[in-house]
Amino acid sequence: MINNKIAAQIIAESQFMQDILTGLQASPKFMQAKYFYDRAGDLLFQKIMKLEEYYVTNAEMDILTKQSGKIADLITSENTPFDLIELGAGDATKSIHLLKELSNRKLEFSYMPIDISAGIISQLEDHLPKTLPGLSVIGLNGDYFEMLEKGTTLSSRRKVVLFMGANIGNMDVAEAEDFCSTLRASLTKGDILIIGFDLKKDPKQILAAYNDSHGITAAFNLNLLTRINRELNADFKLEAFEHYPFYDPESGACKSYLISLKSQEVRIGEEALIHFEAYEPVYMEISQKYSLQDIEEMAIATGFQFNQRFFDEHNYFVDAIWTVV
Ligand SMILES: C[S@@+](CC[C@H](N)C(=O)[O-])C[C@H]1O[C@@H](n2cnc3c(N)ncnc32)[C@H](O)[C@@H]1O
């Protein structure tokens, strides 16, 4: 068991090295947002979610606290056992409201949180059964689809998939469509997807959410350099890079970059020396914003039937309910 764990860790580390080198040797340079979430990244993201400027969490929290009853009605309208699979569960601070609602109904279901962060999964497996006694929690640590496949083979119950927190927004539109089509292929007719989209709104409000005045989002992005230094034996100087977010109201793409503040070389392990030009950008993350029409079209294009929508009080955010057709 321990040997399996060590082997899995070695494979994960070499994949991390490979992905970082691929991104930094490409032109333009990029990093994969899924690597943000080491222990420090998890904590920084939890801080971001509490920021006034980061309206996304409050908006979706408003939906979950006030409308979980109605969402649970939809899930349980077919009165059969099910598995609730959450993709990128994080600390489940929002989904816990739905879990409470479903637990109160004494229905037979298991909660399967999927997350790439091992720390998050063990935290959920430890805390959730204490908060909601009797809740069956099956944590799945790894990448979305690999773990979804594992989750779907664990039982033949119908599936309800949660994909919240605008995680879909961390893909560009084409990637999001591919993602939803692949997800559709792992599911069966009648299964339900509950998916969160951040809506297009005042561009100034969107930009402020990714450029907070406390510098937490900047620290979150720069933390990936700290992680690379530690885990891949690199020598990034954090003060030589700066967080730069940018929102394009036409396409709805809000993109974050780290800008190299000078011409510099960075060593990564024994493997590589990476050259950065002065003011060269490293693309870090996208947070794509959608219109209601974009969302409806995506459901249809990817093999789902658009079912219901739940909005927060300001109409900043929507949790859409799609059914597999
Ligand atoms: C932005 S947080 C959102 C958390 C939660 N869904 C919420 O709404 O509060 C994204 C979460 O997805 C996880 N994640 C990101 N990429 C992933 C991937 N490719 N596979 C599995 N989990 C991933 C991260 O570890 C993180 O906990």
Show the DSSP H helices in 170-291 as ranges: 173-186, 203-209, 216-231
Give the separation between CA 55 and CA 65, rounded to whole angstroms. 15
- What would the two tokens of residue 26 be? 């490409």
Q: Is 236 near ligand 1, meaning CB less than 6 Å away?
A: no
Q: What is the predicted pLDDT for the residue at 7?
A: 64
139: its two tokens: 């944590």
CA distances from 276 to 44, 241, 282 (A): 26, 10, 9
Query: Does 67 have pLDDT greater than 70?
Result: yes
3-state SS assignment for residue 245 = strand
pLDDT band at 6 (very low <50, low <70, confident <90, very high): low
Residue with CA closest to ligand 1 atom 24: 88
Q: Which residue has the tokens 């009165």?
A: 79
Tell me how far apart the alpha carbons of residues 187 and 290 are, in angstroms, rounded to a whole number: 24
Angle between helices 216-231 and 39-50 (to 10 degrees): 180
> Ligand 1 pocket, 164 CB below 6 A?
yes
Q: How many CB atoms lie within 10 A of CB 268?
A: 20
Task: Please give the angle made by the CA atoms of 115, 252 and 23, to the nearest 5 degrees.
Answer: 50
Residue 89 CA, ligand 1 centroid: distance in Å = 6
Q: How far is the CA of 278 from the centre of ligand 1 (A)?
A: 32
Q: Is 35 in the pocket of ligand 1 (CB under 6 A)?
A: no
Rounded CA separation 36/210 (Å): 15
139 within ligand 1 shell (Cβ under 6 A):
no
- The token duo for 80 is 């059969």
Which of 115, 162, 224 for mutating ligand 1's site (highest number of atoms within 8 Å of CB)?
A: 115
Nearest-Å Rg of the Cα atoms of the chain is: 20
pLDDT at 168 over 80: yes
How far is Cα 53 from Cα 210, in angstroms, rounded to an integer?
A: 8
Q: If residue 308 lies in a helix (H) or strand (E), which one and from where to where?
A: strand 304-311
Residue 109 CB–ligand 1 contact under 6 Å: no
Is residue 244 in contact with ligand 1, taking CB distance under 6 Å?
A: no
- For ligand 1, the distance from its centroid to the CA atom of residue 144, given in whole angstroms, is 9
Residue 226 reports pLDDT greater than 60: yes
Q: How far is CA 15 from CA 119, 120, 172, in A?
A: 19, 20, 23
**Computed from CA positions of residues 44, 45, 50, 53, in that sequence, does the dihedral angle turn out positive or negative?**
positive
Q: Is the CB–ligand 1 distance for residue 113 below 6 Å?
A: no
> Is the preceding peptide bond at 249 cis, omega within 30 degrees of 0?
no
Give the total residue count for the chain: 325
The response to whether residue 41 sits with its C-beta less than 6 Å from ligand 1 reads no
pLDDT in tens, 75-121: 999 889 999 999 999 989 999 999 999 999 878 999 999 999 899 99
Are 34 and 116 in contact, with CB atoms under 8 Å apart?
yes
| Cα–Cα distance for residue pair 187/189, rounded to 1 Å | 7
| 51, 85, 117: residue to mutate for ligand 1 pocket, most atoms within 8 A of CB | 117
* Mean pLDDT on 159-176: 94
- Asked whether 94 lines ligand 1 (CB < 6 A), one says yes
Sheet holding 241-248, edge to edge: 29-30, 281-288, 253-260, 241-248
Q: What is the residue type of 307?
A: N
If you measure from the C-alpha of residue 145 to the centroid of ligand 1, how many angstroms do you get, rounded to a whole number?
13
- Secondary structure element (H or E) that encloses residue 235, with its range: none
pLDDT at residue 272 tops 70: yes
Q: What is the mean pLDDT of residues 195-221?
A: 97
pLDDT value of residue 165: 83
Q: Residue 182 — φ and ψ, nearest 5°?
A: -65, -40
Beta strands in 203-270 (DSSP E): 241-248, 253-260, 264-268
Q: Residues near 49 by Cβ (< 8 Å), separated by ≥ 6?
A: 57, 93
Distance of CA 90 from the midpoint of ligand 1 (Å):
5
In tens, the pLDDT along 12-52 reads 778 999 999 999 999 999 999 989 999 999 999 999 989 99
Q: What is the tens place of the pLDDT at every residue in 110-122?
A: 999 999 989 999 9
Could you tell which of 167, 178, 317 is best to mutate to test the pocket of ligand 1, judged by most ligand atoms within 8 Å of the CB? Answer: 167
Taking a C-beta distance cutoff of 8 angstroms, is the pair 87, 140 a contact?
no
Tell me the domains of the chain and their CATH numbers: 2-30+204-288 (no CATH), 55-199+290-324 (3.40.50.150)
Residue 13: its pLDDT value, please? Answer: 73
Q: Would you say the CB of residue 161 lies under 6 angstroms from ligand 1?
A: no
CA 94 to ligand 1: nearest atom: 9
